[in-house]
Structure 1
């Protein structure tokens, strides 16, 4: 039986009186892409931060590649990576210096060759000598993707991976990520507000609201359930609590939960 890449069971996270994540459970298999969707404050970033070990859970179990990350995360952290255009790399270092730093952090033996390979594939050659702080938002996003793939991770956590990119470059980056996944069978957990991106990349979608998973399914299943033509309409239905699917389970009133904007 194939080992799951990500296993989250009854995960909760509170900040004083604020309940940011409320008893969520999900899995991601090797080669699978799962989306966390929800409005601002839904709990997506908090969930990803816990998976990265940046935050400790209040309760629940998280296993990555079979390891409990609260008790024993260090043996597997070199097999995981993360990308977000909202997390700046050191601005005064050049792109090459930043990538070299992460090569050393992850213990990449052939660092120069790996940087050259990614620079060629992600079209970064002309940027390597430039300070990261001088790059455009789109250029920074491509560098962030290169950083996330520097160690050829088995689990890739992505937060808005194509934000700030023009449609052509964004499409190219998505194609690159999909080709990487097809080659390595990496598991991808994606948080995005780009619904077309989610429809294109994701095998399963977790709809979050107020720290809970309120619905889930493949993109096609969600479109059929809500009688919609695109995921943006489904997203709005759930965010605004309208047009609930016609099932006995879903027509029950959702519990009102007051949470902070985490």
Structure 2
């Protein structure tokens, strides 16, 4: 479907006897921000890794921007990008060297200007000539985010995009990402444990548990369905096996 940025059908990933992702099917429309939510071990990071082609699915189908990622992923690699605290950039290189290397890999025109512009936008100017291995976790997160924006991707995949950031910087990054998405009409798929972040940014939420989808709706519709005031309580309801507002009330009074 032309209006879908991501289309996943019956995706399975096994690691030996462990089924990390089980018959996962979902899609994300172009221009939307969608969240994958779930506890540790729900399969969020594994799913994003398969979408990127970093992991090969055991079975299933993935289409990204119209390309079959199992057969033709090189057709769209130049217009997607990602950031994750679990994927390190080379630690011995400076931040500038890292960003310049990736700029050349992505075929960026005027890479020095692009790196300088993003460094200013993300307030990492003073970090550019320091080896990445010397930076704090929050500083590395901002450099990784700059890397993910170098090619102004049509699809941005983010795993915990504000991990290790202080509240003020995290708030600023959310605003920056929202503006980037709106200005470019980009699609963003993010995995996050920050429920207020998801409520603020996302059009759609895919709730995962033990490798499967257990619910999906807009943040507002999930709040209505479960009779909750915030997504954190919805998340806890789903983790505890409650399916709707009636079940949630039973849990409260039990």
Say yes or no: TM over 0.5: yes
Please say if residues 3 and 66 of structure 1, whose CA atoms lie closer than 8 Å, have aligned partners that are also in contact. no
1-structure distance, mates of 2:85, 2:11: 26
Q: Partner of 2:93: helix, strand, or coil?
A: coil
Q: Partner of 2:213: helix, strand, or coil?
A: strand
Of structures 1 and 2, the one with the larger relative CO (CA 8 A, separation 6+) is 1
The superposition leaves residues 186-230 of structure 1 with CA deviations (integer Å, 9 ceiling, x where unpaired) of: 111110000000000110001000111000100011111111111
Please say if residues 141 and 165 of structure 1, whose CA atoms lie closer than 8 Å, have aligned partners that are also in contact. yes
The superposition leaves residues 45-67 of structure 1 with CA deviations (integer Å, 9 ceiling, x where unpaired) of: 11001001011111111000100
> In the comparison of the two structures, how many residue pairs are matched?
247
Shift of the alpha carbon at 1:246?
5.6
Please say if residues 41 and 210 of structure 1, whose CA atoms lie closer than 8 Å, have aligned partners that are also in contact. yes
Aligned twin of 1:56: 56
Please say if residues 31 and 185 of structure 1, whose CA atoms lie closer than 8 Å, have aligned partners that are also in contact. yes
Aligned twin of 1:159: 159
Aligned twin of 1:168: 168
Whether 1:238 and 2:238 are equivalent positions in the alignment is yes
CA RMSD of aligned residues (A): 1.4
CA distance 1:233–1:246, shift in 2 (3 Å)? closer
**Greater per-residue helix proportion:** 2
Aligned twin of 2:37: 37
Please say if residues 12 and 59 of structure 1, whose CA atoms lie closer than 8 Å, have aligned partners that are also in contact. yes
Please say if residues 2 and 66 of structure 2, whose CA atoms lie closer than 8 Å, have aligned partners that are also in contact. no
Shift of the alpha carbon at 1:70?
0.2
Aligned twin of 2:136: 136
1-structure distance, mates of 2:101, 2:70: 26
Shift of the alpha carbon at 1:158?
0.3
Aligned twin of 2:194: 194
Gaps of 5+ in 2: 247-254
Q: Structure 1 segments of 4 or more deviating over 2 A?
A: none
Aligned twin of 2:221: 221
Aligned twin of 1:123: 123
Aligned twin of 2:82: 82
Shift of the alpha carbon at 1:68?
0.3
Q: Partner of 1:60: helix, strand, or coil?
A: strand
The superposition leaves residues 62-82 of structure 1 with CA deviations (integer Å, 9 ceiling, x where unpaired) of: 000100000111111111101
Q: Partner of 1:146: helix, strand, or coil?
A: helix
Q: TM-score when scaled to structure 2? A: 0.94
Gaps of 5+ in 1: 248-262
Q: Partner of 1:123: helix, strand, or coil?
A: coil
Q: TM-score when scaled to structure 1? A: 0.91
